[in-house]
Structure 1
């Protein structure tokens, strides 16, 4: 653990109170405006939520993986858009620098990412390269002491507000890991153009858009780690950690859905009784709680293994696959128990039902997780 138990307990208590008192009451506002209020973002910065996973020497909290997922369990109790505004700084927007950045790159970017002064964004996905990340077409051509980037990135989280893009680009034509490099590209660099913010099924307030690079010249110092060919491998390491983070978010949302559903079931009456007395309703509540408990245990086990220095590619894929599928089931049961009311925007379960559908897609689809799990099993077999 990075923090002593008393200090971490205070942090969890503070985050929980912030979620209950500041975030949950603003959920409808965020859904209607498709934006996170400035005062909420300021409050998140004050709590240090942008720097959970960045070391203390760079101004972050430097939490262990287990501590991070416990905080995310709390953040998950509200609309995922709130977590998303800081999520790229905690995860994919900063972790490539943490893992493979030069000392100069770390000193330049990590403090401002940790404070939230700079929003980081991870640009990997493309129109023709999603699950097949090796198929990316964005190129980085060496030109003297610069690189020239050309290509389009798609569905890039926080792109409209980002100050820094971690960009995966091809520095060699061959289809192999060593052909892909990573560049730290500041948003003000000439040659960057953003598409219109995407209109999505759910997660309003969590902004995404295309990022287009057109003869975008960056200095050689923007090359992550100062060497070509480490982009794909770094991206996979970043995703291993990010999958545990997303899995923890799914558990937090599931907890919120169960609470909303239990309270509704105790209040809603049919046939002269609260529907909470009906055994088929109780069965759905029980299944949701058991699912959530199982996911929480998986995540905490995988996080502890990662903190011990073990390779957790298999466990992270298992946790992400199970938790993202699990929260979909819990959301579906919640709507079913609410009945017609669950289909109405008046109640939060309708919004969460749409929000959670994304978790089975990003940070690697369920089907990609299955391939990763099978690959790791076969690799380990004698």
Structure 2
């Protein structure tokens, strides 16, 4: 039976993040304008490193916190209320290590996972998107040719978050164009291998901590010890599981963005005086805030159900995709309504609402657009067979 009450540890965790937000992250963001990427310091990452929160899913035996998905979703949601870019870094880091957690050997875990923990914790990058394929993994143009004891990887990946700073890359590639999905392979490789290089920076409007980048593989030699595979997981199933689990955390970031926009709009409506009274006394404004609050509550519950199912090792794919579909719309809808309440002030370069709106637009395409979520959900529901 699902319990809506958070554990004592989870309540303490939320309080810790809120304290970090108030005492360290927000003051830093006020001092350093977070709208341009001018070589940010490692300060924001170090705040999370101090508490081993850069990749909290790493099991305790490898130096991590061994945090369940429900707890991780609480972390990224709270961080997203003040700094969505930092929340993206954490969720993407979890995304990068998820394949090795699902299918990695004990030796692979011992060699790689400790690097993601502690005060020197590194970042990981997840590379699957290609220019010609988008969400269609059967159209991957990157190719990993199997040799004796290694693979030779050629191709290109784009929109890779954390790429410029990641120590490890999780890469999905075909090993045979003729076999398509059946030939999909997952590699977790260090970013300093010969013939690997970073391509162009993909400038985006949203204030992310690091811009996404293109990655180029020019006959990169990868040892078979870096292949992440398991008899229970094909490469395609591993990618699907990883994406579906990641969507729950991306949804949590979206909820955090919506909460931040709502709080700003609610505070502004209580202080803004027009014709002798605060604008929240206007029924139209009040009703808009009520609708935003209801949508946020509904989506928060949907995200938590998805994470609960993941933690219970039950079938989570449909609910996770539902949460991503709904939370993406939530973030866009709430930031839009908040902009209407703020009026012209919402579109100033220094406006927090404007930054949140940009992040909401970005999150609507991370881990697949709305139509991709609908395709996945309809497949699970077997709508296409009716």
TM-score by length of 2: 0.93
Task: State the match for 1:81 in structure 2.
Answer: 85
Match of 2:103 among 97, 100, 104: 100
Greater shift in the superposed pair: 259-268 or 174-183: 174-183
Q: 2:330 aligns with which of 326, 332, 347?
A: 326
Count the aligned residue pairs.
Answer: 379
Choose from 8, 11, 29 the match for 2:10: 8
Q: CA deviation at 1:36?
A: 4.2
> Quick one: distance in 2 between partners of 1:188 and 1:64?
31
Q: 1:211 aligns with which of 204, 208, 215?
A: 215
Within the alignment, does 1:312 sit opposite 2:316 as a pair?
A: yes
Corresponding residue to 1:344 among 339, 344, 348: 348
1:16-57 C-alpha deviation (Å, 9 max, x unpaired): 110122222333523234554322211110111123112111
Report what 1:23 is aligned to.
25
TM-fit CA distance, 1:207: 2.3
Deviations 1:104-153 (A, max 9, x none): 11111111123353211111001111121221111011222121110000
Match of 1:251 among 240, 255, 259: 255
Is residue 291 of structure 2 the alignment partner of residue 291 of structure 1?
no
Relative to structure 1, is the Cα distance of residues 227 and 7 closer, same or farther in structure 2, using a 3 angstrom cutoff? closer
Give the conservation status (yes or no) of the 8 Å contact 1:35–1:205: no
Distance in 2 separating the partners of 1:69 and 1:85: 13
User: How many angstroms does 1:351 deviate by?
Assistant: 1.0
Q: Output the aligned Cα RMSD.
A: 2.1
Change over 3 Å in CA distance of 1:249–1:34 after alignment to 2 = farther
- TM-score normalised over the length of structure 1: 0.94
Tell me which stretches of 4 or more aligned residues in structure 1 moved more than 6 Å.
226-229, 379-382
Three-state SS of the structure 2 residue aligned to 1:63 is coil
Q: Distance in 1 between matches of 2:52 and 2:40?
A: 17
Give the Å deviation of 1:84. 2.5
Structure 2 unaligned blocks of 5 or more: none
Report the CA distance between 1:11 and its aligned residue.
2.2
Query: Any idea what SS the aligned residue of 1:224 has?
Result: coil
The equivalent of 2:382 in structure 1 is: 378
What is the deviation of 1:229? 8.3
How far the C-alpha of 1:319 sits from its partner, in A, is: 0.5
Question: Which runs of 5 or more structure 1 residues have no equivalent in the other structure?
Answer: none
Task: Specify whether residues 96 and 379 from structure 1 end up closer, same or farther in structure 2 by C-alpha distance, changes over 3 A only.
Answer: farther
Single out whichever of 45-54 and 315-324 deviates more from structure 2.
45-54
